[in-house]
Amino acid sequence: METERRAKPSFACVDRRAFVAGSAAAAAWLASGRRALSDAKTGIDAATWTPSYITSIAGTVDIDTRAECAKVVPLDYKGRLTYWWNGTNQASPDIDKKFEAEFFQAFSETYPNIEIEKQNLDYNQMLDKLRTAALGNAAPMAARLPILWGVEFAAKGQLQEFSPADVGYPVEDYWPGAMKSVAWQRKTYGVPTNNETMGFIWNAALFKAAGLDPEKAPPTWADVVAYSKTIKDKTGKNGFGLVARANAGNTPFRFMPQIWANGGGALDEADDHPTYKKILLDSDGTKLSLQQIVDMYVRDRSAPASALTNTQTENEDPFLAGNLAMMIGHPLEFAYMLDHAKKATGADKPIADAVVADMRYGQMPMGKARRAVVFGGSNVHVFKPDVVDSGKVDTMAAKAFIAFLTGPEWSTKLSWDSSNPSNLRGFKSVWMKQRLAQIKFLDVTTSMLPYGIPFPVVPESAEIMNIVVPEMMQNVLTQKMSVADASAAAAKRVKDLIGEL
């Protein structure tokens, strides 16, 4: 992802009031006679939001998307919408392509008089294209963006205020952590479309060969380091699939959970009430996490030597070949392994089949402070007319489309094998029940949602996460800097970045 940053307005804390209200409502929604606890970051308590509970509520409500949308915009409304998003590509699973095509077809049948001019953009190109378009008054009316990106456009004054209420849904229908990601200076600038958390994956056969319990994930990040060394020493295979490539979103999605778990952070985003004014890249928790990856990569040589240039993609084939024991990923990783195992031939075939059979998912390890994972996903935003091509925004067409996109049905279907519905009622739908039956380990990664921590909701977030954090990692892994010096340098860069912008 490109991370060029531009000037922002005053640095301010986001409004917490809506999130507290959403938290209480979400807890009440879940309770149904159970003990309800509230979490300031997600709104749902981990003790309640378990795999068994997720399974128990799936398929318990009926959804009529057409009727819900009709309450927002009449079904005979005639209009036009321009829309950009990062959607499926040639490498996407067939199920994703199927649902994406069905989504646009279903929308055209529901609103036959709304014309959509759409562009599906490459992830690595979309952010810069959108920046350029907005500066040139050629932005789309609406865009679906990864969770990190919207705040930058809101801070530049390029987005309209827009919230779930504008499309007929109460804010309580969405995770409070997700609503935080669409807030800037006490105003809301979008609606969540999907939300996701990852899980910890391991090869049970390699665990067994190394004398470890094959059915249990390492309980702590310190255990990950120890397990990685044991696996390398006992089997000769790499232990943990470290990802440390700069300017790649895979890196912070896999290292920040370790930092947060150990009590560190980029800013104070892991706190219950973050101010985004404290810099924690030089904290003890961050330095502990850096030391742990140094121990694996430099001291024990139990992580792949290619970690400095690896994304998660480069971990997949070694894992499938039985040469890597542990990694972090979505449920989609199992689908990938299953698909590629089916295509394997010759001597590779039995190895791949065995790895799929031995693949296990568990919750992310604990650290010194907590269990943590990145709260990810995407949001849909509406741009202001003065930055849009033609200088006009068809607000009713945008409302119809976003109501359709972010409701229980399509926020579930479009997240089929890799994410989760943004609309909490999607978890109670028949489509969620079908997903749980079809996608192995989905319940495990979904159970990580209460532990999710959103990246800092500041315009500089993309640069901090995709440039500063990975380069801090590279400085210690290449032994260019000590842990103390690298963390101090990263903290100074963030301080200068925030001050400059």
pLDDT at 339: 85
pLDDT at 226: 98
Query: CA-CA distance, 447 to 430, in Å (whole number)?
Result: 18
Q: With the C-alpha atoms ordered 334, 338, 339, 341, is the resulting torsion angle positive or negative?
A: positive
Average pLDDT, the chain: 89
* Whole-number Cα distances in Å, 104 to 65, 87, 111, 112, 351: 14, 12, 10, 11, 40
Q: Are 242 and 296 in contact (CB under 8 A)?
A: yes
pLDDT at 27: 38
pLDDT at 20: 31
> Residue by residue, what is the 3-state secondary structure of 61-81?
CCCCHHHHHHCCCCCCCCEEE
pLDDT digits (tens, 9 = 90+) for 432-471: 999 999 888 998 999 999 899 999 989 999 889 999 999 9
- With a cut of 60, say whether residue 255 has pLDDT above it: yes
Cα-only R_g, the chain: 22
Query: CA-CA distance, 14 to 89, in Å (whole number)?
Result: 35
pLDDT digits (tens, 9 = 90+) for 151-168: 999 999 999 999 999 999
pLDDT at 42: 54
Query: CA-CA distance, 264 to 267, in Å (whole number)?
Result: 8
DSSP string, 43-61: SS-TTTS-HHHHHHHTT-S
Residue 326's φ and ψ, nearest 5 degrees, are -140, 145
CATH of domain 17-197+375-453: 3.40.190.10
By mean pLDDT, which of 13-22, 32-41, 135-144, 364-373 is the weakest? 13-22
Q: Do the domains 17-197+375-453 and 199-369+460-500 sit in the same CATH topology, yes or no?
A: yes
- 199-369+460-500: CATH topology is D-Maltodextrin-Binding Protein; domain 2 (3.40.190)
pLDDT band at 44 (very low <50, low <70, confident <90, very high): low
pLDDT band at 176 (very low <50, low <70, confident <90, very high): confident
pLDDT band at 43 (very low <50, low <70, confident <90, very high): low
The ranges assigned to domains in the chain are 17-197+375-453, 199-369+460-500
pLDDT at 48: 84
pLDDT band at 49 (very low <50, low <70, confident <90, very high): confident
Burial of 180 (0-12, 13-18, 19+ CB in 10 A): buried
pLDDT band at 148 (very low <50, low <70, confident <90, very high): confident
pLDDT band at 123 (very low <50, low <70, confident <90, very high): confident
Burial of 116 (0-12, 13-18, 19+ CB in 10 A): middle
Q: Are 326 and 202 in contact (CB under 8 A)?
A: yes
Beta carbons within 8 Å of 112's beta carbon, 6+ residues apart: none
Q: With the C-alpha atoms ordered 375, 127, 469, 458, is the resulting torsion angle positive or negative?
A: negative
Query: CA-CA distance, 459 to 156, in Å (whole number)?
Result: 9
pLDDT at 340: 87
- Considering only CA atoms, which of 197, 194, 189, 120 is closest in space to residue 160? 189
- With a cut of 50, say whether residue 23 has pLDDT above it: no
- With a cut of 50, say whether residue 80 has pLDDT above it: yes
